[in-house]
Amino acid sequence: MKLLYVSPGRRGSGNGAAPESAIGGLPAAVAAARAAGEPVRLHLLPGEYVLEETLRLDERDSGTAFVGHGSVVSGGKAITEWHDAGDGVVYATLPPDARFTQFHVNGERRERTRYPDEGFLPSVKYPVSDTGWANEIAADPVKTGENRVFCFRPEDMPKDPYRPEDIEFVILQFWMEARLYLESWDPASGAALFKTGSWRPLTWSRGYYLENVREGLRYPGRWYHDRAENRLYYHLKEGERIETLKGAYSALRTLIEAAPTPGRKITDLCFEGITFSVTDGHAGGSPYYSIQAELDAPIAVRMTDAERSSFRRCSFSHLGAWALGMGKGCKENEVERCTFSHCGAGAIRIGEIERPEDESARTEHIRFRNNRIENCGEFYVGSAGVWVGQSGHDEIAHNDISGPLQWAISVGWNWSIFPLNYSRANRVEKNHVHDVGTGILGTHGALYLLGVSPETVVEGNLIENVLGSRDWGAGEGIILDNSCSGITVQNNLVTNANCGGWGCNFDCFGNVIRNNIFAYGTRYQLTRYGDAPSKNPPPPNGEIFSQNIVLWAEGPLFKEKSWPSYSTFWDYNLYWCTTGPVTFMGRSFEEWNALGLDVHSVVADPLFADPENGDFTLSPDSPAFRIGFEPFSLADAGILPEGDDGEISE
């Protein structure tokens, strides 16, 4: 493999044979690698590689390795000249075409001005009841009134706001937000019509807030973009000075686009030790909404039809939206020992929304292992840390995930049985998920699965401290949602989840939930939720819930007071409440048994060593052994030590 040295910027003009004769900048280096006629290792010397446009790679770059410990690939546009606007506020004049949602100071993301300064304002109308969902979604959100019309209380809005056309209304919906701009409004009545609509009716909201509001500049560390004046205003934080202020706005939404010409493949691309930083979200002034999981947000590094490629020991930080995407046709790619922090959306998207029919277009055999995800979902509030859509045979293992995410890991993408998911035979194993749901929407579920997913296994995960939200996210540990089938959930420990360790939709079938520990849910411990089956009598559920231990101190065992159908295999479990009697939806254990449930189960103290402090070691005389419970160790959950790759169980 030929070695070429690369330097930041355009100053280097050599042939790349040595550091002192390095090639200047990444575009020139890629051109030199293509001309070499053999695989090339591009050694990026330390420094910042600012891209003026997206770096596009294709099949000509197969076999190229980008290696650069200490190198930063950035889409930032530096602001070099600042002016004093008074009262701690400074401003800079920008190019007329600058449209962005992300701004950084000294390498750290700064928040846009918002109103109110924190929290959110209540919506006037909220028709969704606590007992059901409004399931009819408008087919054309742009033309449908309920997706464009919004009502607010006039007293909640800033009085005579400066440039209302600059304001981005952030409508907090279920599992997503819509970011919309005014077409017209009546401040006196509180009626607003947006230029475009959301995917969901805007009545599906309990609250909203405003961003890019001039009145919010009173808050230090926040910024406002006046698009009419082409000015960025920034309120200095304590200790910052105009003379030394280093600001940059995000000029690119995608840093690297690796996509071959149609019918071709990119193979054996390698990225190692590189930091990818400073990208944008959607264009400022342009609306945004997504179906769920923020899948319409931009991706900083996007791969299509790439095989046997890898990212190792890279850092993805201070990005406006998604960090990494493995899209159509990606196969046998690896992401190992990378760090994802302070990203606007999630860390990685694997697969596509639509099911591929052509075998060559399928995404499969992606390995995402030993990575750290922290403080992602900072801008797009309905993000998943790891999203696996129409993709199979993937490994999501030994990762450490925390922060303001709706889902730590989401696998599968189909709300009905047909057409079948291509999400199958995926393994979610030995991850440490903790302290998730710290954002405004809370957590829907730490591990979330959706659709028919045969041979998919969720095993050996340690899930701690799953936070919910009073208004949105429930905060459950492991969720099997609509039409989940063919999934095994075993040997997992979920503790301190706001809404318990496990839940499934009524229309799930053919799943096995066995040998798990669900401990110390707050509001409740278990749930079977969703719209009640329409058939009368309801069909059997078809789940196997067996050999699990459920331990709690507060809240009921089940969220529901009754089920539409009790035709499910629910047996050989152990239940124990440390603060009172164990009841089953208001029934005694004997009454529960009479329904054919838990006939061989046990209500008894499992005799853990010190569960309140995280030690779930069983005493040798634990009654858990009477139900066939098999002890398991999670000492190796999370990131493995360097040099220990671990083995995924078969």
pLDDT band of residue 126 (cuts 50, 70, 90) is very low
Q: 10 Å Cβ neighbour count for 410?
A: 28
Integer Cα distance of 428 and 430 in angstroms: 7
pLDDT band of residue 10 (cuts 50, 70, 90) is low
Question: Tell me, what's the pLDDT at 9?
Answer: 78
β-strands 222-226, 363-364 pairing: unpaired
Selection from 597, 587, 584, 593 nearest residue 540 by Cα: 597
pLDDT band of residue 646 (cuts 50, 70, 90) is low
β-strands 182-186, 191-194 pairing: antiparallel
- Chain segment 348-376, per-residue pLDDT in tens: 999 999 988 888 899 999 999 999 999 99
Question: Tell me, what's the pLDDT at 134?
Answer: 34
Question: Tell me, what's the pLDDT at 564?
Answer: 86
Selection from 433, 451, 452, 453 nearest residue 443 by Cα: 433
Q: 3-class SS at 374?
A: strand
How far is the CA of 3 from the CAs of 10, 22, 76, 382, in angstroms?
19, 11, 28, 43
Integer Cα distance of 381 and 176 in angstroms: 6
In this structure, what token pair is assigned to residue 170?
């952030």
The label of the residue with tokens 């800079």 reads 92
Question: Tell me, what's the pLDDT at 113?
Answer: 97
627 residue type, one letter: I
CATH number of 53-75+252-405: 2.160.20
Selection from 55, 3, 60 nearest residue 26 by Cα: 55
Domain ranges of the chain: 1-45, 53-75+252-405, 79-247
168 residue type, one letter: E
% of the chain beyond a pLDDT of 90: 79
CA dihedral sign, ordered 33, 36, 38, 41: negative
- Cβ atoms 553, 521 nearer than 8 A: no
How does 80-109 read in b/e, with b if 16+ C-beta sit within 10 Å? eebeeeeebbbbbebeeebbbbbbbbeeeb
Selection from 251, 100, 98 nearest residue 168 by Cα: 100
**CB hemisphere CA count around 227 (13 angstroms):** 17
pLDDT band of residue 565 (cuts 50, 70, 90) is confident
* Residues pairing with 202 in the sheet: none
Task: Answer yes or no: is pLDDT of 248 > 60.
Answer: yes
In this structure, what token pair is assigned to residue 393?
């045979």
Report whether the peptide linkage leading into residue 27 is cis, meaning its omega lies within 30 degrees of zero. Answer: no
Question: Tell me, what's the pLDDT at 190?
Answer: 84
pLDDT band of residue 144 (cuts 50, 70, 90) is low
| Mean pLDDT value of segment 578-593 | 97
Question: Tell me, what's the pLDDT at 137?
Answer: 35
| Mean pLDDT value of segment 527-551 | 84
How far is the CA of 587 from the CAs of 56, 357, 392, 568, in angstroms?
63, 49, 42, 17
- Chain segment 167-214, per-residue pLDDT in tens: 999 999 988 999 999 998 888 888 888 999 898 888 888 899 999 999
pLDDT band of residue 131 (cuts 50, 70, 90) is very low
- Cβ atoms 201, 140 nearer than 8 A: no
352 residue type, one letter: E
Q: 3-class SS at 599?
A: coil
Task: Answer yes or no: is pLDDT of 135 > 50.
Answer: no
How does 372-393 read in b/e, with b if 16+ C-beta sit within 10 Å? bbbbbbbbbbbbbbbbbbbbbb
pLDDT band of residue 12 (cuts 50, 70, 90) is low
The label of the residue with tokens 């400022």 reads 284
**CB hemisphere CA count around 338 (13 angstroms):** 25
- Chain segment 447-502, per-residue pLDDT in tens: 999 999 999 999 999 999 999 988 887 899 999 999 999 999 999 999 999 999 99
- Cβ atoms 249, 102 nearer than 8 A: yes
Integer Cα distance of 410 and 583 in angstroms: 32
More confident residue, 308 or 145: 308
Selection from 591, 599, 527, 536 nearest residue 563 by Cα: 527
| Mean pLDDT value of segment 93-107 | 94
* Residues pairing with 337 in the sheet: none
Selection from 213, 179, 169 nearest residue 199 by Cα: 179
| 145 contact partners, CB below 8 Å, separation of at least 6 | none
| 627 contact partners, CB below 8 Å, separation of at least 6 | 547, 572, 573, 574, 600, 601, 602
DSSP 8-state symbol, 576: E
Integer Cα distance of 408 and 431 in angstroms: 10
Question: Tell me, what's the pLDDT at 159?
Answer: 82
| Mean pLDDT value of segment 55-59 | 98
**CB hemisphere CA count around 628 (13 angstroms):** 9
pLDDT band of residue 417 (cuts 50, 70, 90) is confident
Which of these ranges, 63-77, 81-95, 278-292, has the smallest mean pLDDT?
A: 278-292
In this structure, what token pair is assigned to residue 451?
């659709």
Selection from 459, 518, 515 nearest residue 487 by Cα: 459
Q: Is the pTM of this model over 0.85?
A: yes
Report whether the peptide linkage leading into residue 419 is cis, meaning its omega lies within 30 degrees of zero. Answer: yes
The label of the residue with tokens 């590094």 reads 301
